[in-house]
C-alpha cells in the first residue's frame, strides 16, 4: 500500500464541498428501521465501510435490505424475523456495540468478529449488560457469539459507560423491543460524547419510543413499545465536514458546506465554535450554506473536548499550526478508539517537527514551530489520516500512510480533498 502525498496548494483554499450523509445518523436509522413495525425508506444514506458493515450485518440476520437502482444512497429496510448469522464488525464501533442487542432478538446464534485491531476495543461493558438483561453470550470481546432466543427479558442494569457513549446508545436503540424494556444507570466517571446519546434519544422519539432521562442519577428508561417505521432523511456528516472547514482555517482560505442544518444533535457542529476561537470567521446563510474563512494566523485554544472527542485529531492538527500553546482536555477516553488517539497524535505531531505531549486526559500542543515533511502514520484510523492531510496543506511533501482507511466514513475522501485543494488530476 503506497503512501499518499497530501496536496500542497499554491494559494489559499477556495472551495465549496458537498458532504455525504452522517455515519452516526445512518447507522442509528438502519437499526431503528430493522426493528420497526413496517418498511422504512432512508434517503441520503452514507455508503462507507462502516455503514456498509451495518447494512451487511442486518442483512445477515434476516433484515430485508433493498437498494434503489439509480441511487445507492436510497435504501429500503424491511423488518423480517431475525435468524442466525455472522456479522463482520470491521473496525466500526457502532456495529460492534449496537448490533449485539439486535442479535439477542434473533432466533439463533449470531457470531461477531472484525478486524484484528478491533479485537482490542473494549466491549465487555455492553456484553455484560446484555448478560444482566438475560442474554446468553460467549466471549468478552471480538470474536464473541450471541445466543439469540427471539426475545430479551430486559429490566434494570447498571453499567460504567465512561469509555464510550456507544454502550448506552447500543442498549437504548433495541430497548423498546425487550420484554420489560430497560432502565440503564451509569455509575462512574462522566459519560463522554453525550451529544451522541442525545442523537439516539431524538431519533427514538421520532420513531415513537419515549426515553426518560434522569440527569441527576444518569439513568435512562425505555418502556416496551412498538418502534414506528419512519422515512429517514440523513443530514450531511458534520464531523467529516469539519476536516474540510479546517482546510480554510489552515490556509487562510474559504470553504463552504451546503445543507448545514440549523439545529442538529451531531457533535461535529461544534467545530464552528472551535474555529471561531482560533480566529476564523463563520457565516451561515438562510439557504443552509455554512462558510468558514480562515485567519492570517491561527490562535491557540484551551478547550474541553469531552463531548466532541471525535473532532480531536482535526483540532490537534490546527493547534500544531497555531501561534502559541493549546491545551485539549477531557479526552482520556480517546485511548480506546480505533487507536490510542492521544499517543498517536503526540507521536505523529512530534515526528514532523511539532511539539506535543500527552497529559492524563488530553494533549498540550505548542504551535508556531517549523514542521517538515515525513510519513504521517494513520494507525488504520480514518481521523488520523485526515489530520495528516490538514498538515499537508501547509507542509510540502507530507505523505499519509494508508489514506485508504478514510473509506471507513468517507469513501471519496482523496478525490474530494484533491478537488478542494485544486490538485485533482
Question: 154 in the Ramachandran plot: left (φ > 0), alpha (ψ -120 to 50) or beta?
Answer: left
- Cell numbers of 172, please? 437504548
Cα separation, 147 vs 136, whole angstroms: 5
- Cell numbers of 343, please? 499517543
Give the per-residue pLDDT at 336.
81
Neighbours of 419 (CB within 10 A): 14
Give the per-residue pLDDT at 11.
95
**Predicted confidence (pLDDT) per residue in 330-349, tens digit:** 999 999 877 899 999 999 99
- Output the pTM of the full model: 0.87
Cα separation, 411 vs 421, whole angstroms: 18
Give the per-residue pLDDT at 1.
62
Cα separation, 241 vs 254, whole angstroms: 13
Instruction: Say if residue 377 carries a ligand binding annotation.
Output: no
Q: Do domains 4-20+236-421 and 23-225 have the same CATH topology?
A: yes
* Residue 356: half-sphere exposure toward Cβ, Cα within 13 Å: 27
Phi, psi of 110 (to 5 degrees): -115, 115
Cα separation, 24 vs 94, whole angstroms: 8
Show me where the domains of the chain are located.
4-20+236-421, 23-225
Instruction: Say if residue 49 carries a ligand binding annotation.
Output: no
Instruction: Say if residue 177 carries a ligand binding annotation.
Output: no
Catalytic residue annotation: 310
Instruction: Say if residue 337 carries a ligand binding annotation.
Output: yes
- Write out residues in the chain with pLDDT < 70, as ranges: 1, 424-425
Give the per-residue pLDDT at 2.
82
On whether the CB atoms of residues 26 and 49 are closer than 8 A, the answer is no
The CATH code of domain 23-225 reads: 3.65.10.10
Which residue pairs from 125-128 have beta carbons closer than 8 angstroms and sit at least 24 positions apart in sequence? Answer: 125/159, 125/160, 125/161, 125/163, 125/164, 125/167, 126/97, 126/100, 126/101, 126/159, 126/166, 126/167, 126/170, 126/171, 127/100, 128/159
**Predicted confidence (pLDDT) per residue in 295-304, tens digit:** 999 999 999 9
- Options 3.30.70.20, 1.50.10.10, 3.40.50.920, 3.65.10.10; CATH of 4-20+236-421: 3.65.10.10
Distance of alpha carbon 398 from the chain centroid: 26
Instruction: Say if residue 326 carries a ligand binding annotation.
Output: no
**Predicted confidence (pLDDT) per residue in 157-207, tens digit:** 999 999 999 999 999 999 999 999 999 999 999 999 999 999 999 999 999
Amino acid at each position: 500500500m503506497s503512501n499518499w502525498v497530501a496536496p500542497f496548494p499554491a494559494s489559499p483554499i477556495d472551495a465549496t464541498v458537498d458532504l455525504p450523509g452522517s455515519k452516526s445518523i445512518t447507522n442509528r436509522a438502519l437499526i431503528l428501521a430493522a426493528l420497526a413495525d413496517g418498511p422504512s425508506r432512508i434517503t441520503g444514506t452514507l455508503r462507507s465501510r462502516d455503514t456498509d458493515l451495518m447494512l451487511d450485518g442486518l442483512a445477515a440476520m434476516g433484515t430485508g435490505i433493498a437498494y434503489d437502482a439509480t441511487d445507492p444512497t436510497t435504501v429500503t429496510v424491511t423488518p423480517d424475523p431475525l435468524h442466525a448469522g455472522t456479522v463482520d464488525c470491521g473496525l466500526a464501533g457502532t456495529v460492534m456495540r449496537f448490533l449485539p442487542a439486535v442479535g439477542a432478538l434473533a432466533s439463533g446464534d449470531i457470531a461477531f468478529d472484525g478486524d484484528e485491531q478491533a479485537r482490542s476495543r473494549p466491549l465487555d461493558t455492553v456484553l455484560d449488560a446484555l448478560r444482566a438483561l438475560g442474554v446468553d453470550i460467549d466471549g468478552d470481546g471480538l470474536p464473541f457469539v450471541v445466543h439469540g432466543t427471539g426475545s430479551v427479558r430486559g429490566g434494570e442494569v447498571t453499567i460504567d459507560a465512561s469509555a464510550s457513549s456507544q454502550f448506552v446508545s447500543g442498549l437504548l436503540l433495541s430497548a423498546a423491543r425487550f420484554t420489560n424494556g430497560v432502565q440503564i444507570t451509569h455509575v462512574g466517571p462522566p459519560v463522554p460524547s453525550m451529544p451522541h446519546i442525545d442523537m439516539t434519544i431524538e431519533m427514538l422519539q421520532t420513531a415513537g419510543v419515549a426515553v426518560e432521562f434522569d440527569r441527576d442519577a444518569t439513568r435512562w428508561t425505555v418502556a416496551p413499545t412498538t418502534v414506528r417505521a419512519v422515512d429517514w432523511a440523513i443530514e450531511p456528516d458534520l464531523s467529516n465536514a469539519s476536516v474540510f472547514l479546517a482546510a480554510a482555517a489552515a490556509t487562510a482560505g474559504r470553504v463552504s458546506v451546503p445543507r448545514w442544518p440549523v439545529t442538529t444533535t451531531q457533535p461535529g457542529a461544534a467545530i464552528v465554535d472551535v474555529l471561531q476561537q482560533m480566529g476564523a470567521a463563520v457565516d451561515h446563510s438562510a439557504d443552509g450554506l455554512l462558510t468558514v474563512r480562515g485567519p492570517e494566523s491561527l490562535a491557540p485554544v484551551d478547550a474541553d473536548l469531552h463531548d466532541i472527542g471525535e473532532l480531536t485529531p482535526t483540532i490537534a492538527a490546527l493547534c500544531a499550526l497555531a501561534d502559541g500553546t493549546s491545551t485539549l482536555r477531557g479526552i482520556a477516553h480517546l485511548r480506546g478508539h480505533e487507536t490510542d488517539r492521544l499517543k498517536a497524535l503526540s507521536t505523529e505531531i512530534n515526528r514532523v517537527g511539532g511539539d506535543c505531549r500527552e497529559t492524563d486526559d488530553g494533549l498540550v500542543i505548542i504551535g508556531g514551530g517549523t514542521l517538515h515533511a515525513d510519513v504521517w502514520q494513520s494507525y488504520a484510523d480514518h481521523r488520523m489520516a485526515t489530520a495528516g492531510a490538514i498538515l499537508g496543506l501547509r507542509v510540502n511533501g507530507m505523505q499519509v500512510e494508508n489514506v485508504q482507511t478514510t473509506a471507513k466514513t468517507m469513501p471519496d475522501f482523496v478525490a474530494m480533498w484533491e478537488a478542494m485543494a485544486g490538485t485533482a488530476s
